[in-house]
């Protein structure tokens, strides 16, 4: 049957025991609230403080916006499905989720690549940094990361939509493109070729760029001063930790999607498929919020202003002036 005739897809990886159902719902709801709160907090902190209007923090803002975008494409859907007795999703909503999740993956890798390029310029070319990384360039790189990801995902979704499908059962807790393509009765050669090419451009090209920039940063660190090494460690550690965490999650997803994992318990398979979509949006704000001193100092000053009365704050401002 043609995909346009499929009115819904059935998701078969959910656990329907009532005890686990409500436990998972509570855990995911708490996680979603934490993700929204932490990412929105850091976006507000960066936007309202001019001292943080630097390229590195503007790229971080783009990263946090993407975490909110990816979480929005997953968590409300999961929370509704967990409480539902029938785990089905309409075809249009399934394709919309495929687009959201896939574009989130692409934007995340592109953002991490752009951030590594920014750190490369800051550490390897510190004197020319402000002339090389101007506001216009930051805007162009950020827009290019989002626009390129969206173009790729529109193409992938457009190729999957007209496929002739032999079924509507997806053995996952959310819709993904690879699981849908496996249901096809028609020729999927174009989908497979384009999918491999897109994966190479979305995953491997950014990773190669990141590897190159960090090799250059290491060269400068080994030949530079102690101050240069400390600066590199303080600014690059959160980025590297985020990259490793996200790459590990994507690797989990690729392994459990491409290989037979029937011998693995269902709980573990669900965790592996959701890791990069649930842990990364919480990991990034915690990692950057705790490790970057400028963000920590601004947060402390904001909370101290809230705790002080207006009179105390006015007196302190007058003393400083």
User: pTM score, two decimals?
Assistant: 0.85
CA distance 203 to 194: 14
pLDDT exceeds cutoff 60 at 80: yes
Confidence category of residue 275, pLDDT binned at 50, 70, 90 = confident
Cβ(27)–Cβ(75) under 8 Å? no
Looking at the chain, the whole-number percentage of residues with pLDDT higher than 90 is: 26
Q: Which residue has the higher pLDDT, 118 or 294?
A: 118
Q: Domain 3-320 belongs to what topology?
A: Rhopdopsin 7-helix transmembrane proteins (1.20.1070)
CA distance 157 to 148: 14
pLDDT exceeds cutoff 70 at 256: yes
Write out the two tokens for 13.
């990886």
Give, as one character, the DSSP assignment of residue 182.
T
Q: What is the pLDDT of residue 314?
A: 42
The C-alpha R_g of the chain, in whole angstroms, comes to: 22
CA triplet 155, 273, 161: central angle to 5 degrees? 25
pLDDT exceeds cutoff 80 at 1: no
Cβ(256)–Cβ(126) under 8 Å? no
Q: Using CB atoms within 10 A of its CB, is residue 242 exposed (0-12), middle (13-18) or buried (19+)?
A: buried
Mean predicted confidence (pLDDT) in 65-70: 94
Give, as one character, the DSSP assignment of residue 122.
H
- Tell me if residue 316 falls in helix, strand or coil: helix
pLDDT exceeds cutoff 80 at 313: no
In DSSP notation, 203-219 reads IIHHHHHHHHHHHHHHH
Confidence category of residue 294, pLDDT binned at 50, 70, 90 = low
Q: What is the pLDDT of residue 250?
A: 87
CA triplet 81, 175, 241: central angle to 5 degrees? 95
The domain segmentation of the chain, as residue ranges, is 3-320
- 266 CB neighbour count, 10 Å cutoff: 13
């Amino acid at each position: 049957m043609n995909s346009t005739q499929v009115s819904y897809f059935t998701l078969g990886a959910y656990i329907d025991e009532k005890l686990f159902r409500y436990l998972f719902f509570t855990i995911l709801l708490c996680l979603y609230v934490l993700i929204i709160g932490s990412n929105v907090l850091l976006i507000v902190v960066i936007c309202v403080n001019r001292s943080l209007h630097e390229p590195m923090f503007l790229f971080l803002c783009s990263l946090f916006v993407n975490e909110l975008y990816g979480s929005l494409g997953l968590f409300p859907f999961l929370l509704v499905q967990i409480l539902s007795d029938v785990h089905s999703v309409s075809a249009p909503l399934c394709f919309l989720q495929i687009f959201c999740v896939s574009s989130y993956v692409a934007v995340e890798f592109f953002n991490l690549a752009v951030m590594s390029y920014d750190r490369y310029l800051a550490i390897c070319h510190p004197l020319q940094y402000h002339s090389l990384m101007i506001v216009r360039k930051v805007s162009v790189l950020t827009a290019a990361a989002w626009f390129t990801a969206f173009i790729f995902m529109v193409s992938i979704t457009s190729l999957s939509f007209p496929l002739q499908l032999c079924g509507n059962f997806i053995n996952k807790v959310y819709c993904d493109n690879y699981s849908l393509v496996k249901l096809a009765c028609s020729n999927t050669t174009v989908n497979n070729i384009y999918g491999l090419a897109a994966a190479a451009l979305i995953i491997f090209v950014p990773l190669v760029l990141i590897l190159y920039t960090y090799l250059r940063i290491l060269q400068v660190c080994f030949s530079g001063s102690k101050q240069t090494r400390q600066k590199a460690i303080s600014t690059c550690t959160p980025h590297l930790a985020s990259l490793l965490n996200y790459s590990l999650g994507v690797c989990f997803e690729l392994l459990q999607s491409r290989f037979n994992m029937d011998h693995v318990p269902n709980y573990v398979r669900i965790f592996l498929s959701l890791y990069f979509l649930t842990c990364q949006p919480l990991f990034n704000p915690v990692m950057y919020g705790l490790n970057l001193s400028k963000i920590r100092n601004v947060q402390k000053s904001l909370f101290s202003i809230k705790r002080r009365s207006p009179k105390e704050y006015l007196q302190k401002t007058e003393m400083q002036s």
